[in-house]
Amino acid sequence: MESKKRRGILERLNAGEVVVGDGGYVLQLERRGYVKAGHWTPEAAVEHPEAVRQLHREFLRAGANVIQTFTFYCSEDKLDISGNVTNITGAQINEAACDLAREVANEGDALVAGCVSKTPCYVKSHSEPEVKAIYKKQMDDFLRKDIDFFIVEFVDHVEEAVWAVEVLKTSGKPVGATLCISPHGDMRGVPPGECAVRLVKAGADIVGINCHLDPLTCVRTVKLMKAGLEKAGLKAHLMIQPLGFHTPECNLGGYTSLPEYPFALETRAMTRWDMHKYAREAYNAGIRYIGGCCGFEPYHIRAIAEEMATERGFLPPASEKHGLWGAALEMHTKPWVRARSRREYWENLLPASGRPKCPSMGTPGDDYEKQLESNIPT
């Protein structure tokens, strides 16, 4: 099936369809041994395409309608700062990532989103021409591969996101813009509602939140964005791709300020049943593009797709190997396990950590805020 024959992202959202996004890549590939923590750069698209391709496939099988290019932190200034890429250019990574995403998207009815993220240049120089030139270079790479639409992601200053949107809109492609901010606003205190207004006025077709905080916190933030748009008399589709971890501390810097980041987050991992609740909350809030970011594994995306099965009219291929709400446990030999083959059990379960001295919450540090204040590139 050729991508040009597929309905685009705006056609689907305008029709009221639920679009399921994919999940997180850098954390998953770091855990699998293909990404270096701290650097978080995506050279694996060139060095280990089989690993990236496999993760794309798992998200597609789980029910994703969109395959994002694995191009997080792929601006040349970030690659230079990381020091991890000495013989691979950003253009080479972008090209390889687009090819991988398109190859897998063509295996189903999925679209390819070309993704750009925040640049160290913004915090370092705060130069609009320099920042826009970086986004323009990435955009040109993606346009040569004819991606379906753009996503601006992982930006914590709305001003930078606006600059990115203004550049990407010159492509003629639809643009989604997701900020990694809390309900308190961006890193300069711009409220979520005002952030949404600025993004839409810049030309964003889809606005929302990604990463940094847990799903229900991100739903709260998107609701504030929606209210801001309504007050301003503006319209845009809403999108959400949060963390796959519990972060009830809800601090401004997000999960990077937690003591467990990035190597001890397993105790905060959300279950598939948490994802059912998240998907329903997001849908009830009027959000129709529902996906995930760091911490989201394919089974989490499958849970979203299963919760939205009635609205979408189908189950994903991965559900062939999963009994809804534990139904497959009816075949278990042990009666106490068979008793768990029902929705009520899993909806009311309070999972234990198994760690006798494990606190229910951590004490977030303020290193992230200090880093921004000192103008050190992140």
Residue 238: predicted pLDDT: 99
Sheet containing 237-241: order of strands: 19-20, 289-290, 237-241, 206-210, 175-179, 149-155, 111-117, 66-68
| Lowest mean pLDDT, pick from 21-35, 97-111, 241-255, 307-321 | 241-255
- pLDDT above 80 (res 184): yes
Q: What is the pLDDT of residues 80-135, one digit of tens each?
A: 777 767 789 999 999 999 999 999 999 999 999 999 999 999 999 999 999 999 99
pTM, full prediction: 0.94
H, E, C per residue of 128-161: HHHHHHHHHHHHHHHHHCCCCEEEEEEECCHHHH
How high does pLDDT run on average in the chain? 93
DSSP assignments along 81-143, one per residue: HH---SS--HHHHHHHHHHHHHHHHTTTT-EEEEEEE--HHHHHH--HHHHHHHHHHHHHHHH
Q: What is the pLDDT of residues 43-58, one digit of tens each?
A: 999 999 999 999 999 9
| Phi–psi pair at 89, nearest 5 degrees | -90, 160
- pLDDT above 80 (res 20): yes
Of all residues in the chain, what percent carry a pLDDT higher than 90?
86
Residue 267: predicted pLDDT: 92
Residue 360: predicted pLDDT: 86
CA–CA dist 78, 92 (Å, integer): 15
Residue 377: predicted pLDDT: 40
Average pLDDT rounded to a whole number, residues 18-26: 97
Question: Is 293 among the annotated ligand-binding positions?
Answer: yes
**Domain limits, the chain:** 9-374
Pick the CATH number of 9-374 from 3.40.630.30, 3.30.70.940, 1.10.150.170, 3.20.20.330: 3.20.20.330
Residue 250's pLDDT band (cuts 50, 70, 90): confident
Residue 367's pLDDT band (cuts 50, 70, 90): low
Pairing type for strands 175-179 and 206-210 reads parallel
Q: Which two tokens stand for residue 88?
A: 């691979």
Q: What is the pLDDT of residues 348-365, one digit of tens each?
A: 999 998 989 888 888 887
Residue 370's pLDDT band (cuts 50, 70, 90): low
Average pLDDT rounded to a whole number, residues 231-237: 98
Residue 136: predicted pLDDT: 97
How many other CB atoms are found less than 10 A from the CB of residue 16? 8
- pLDDT above 50 (res 372): no
Residue 2: predicted pLDDT: 44
Question: Is 218 among the annotated ligand-binding positions?
Answer: no
Question: Is 98 among the annotated ligand-binding positions?
Answer: no
Q: Give the three-class secondary structure for 307.
A: helix
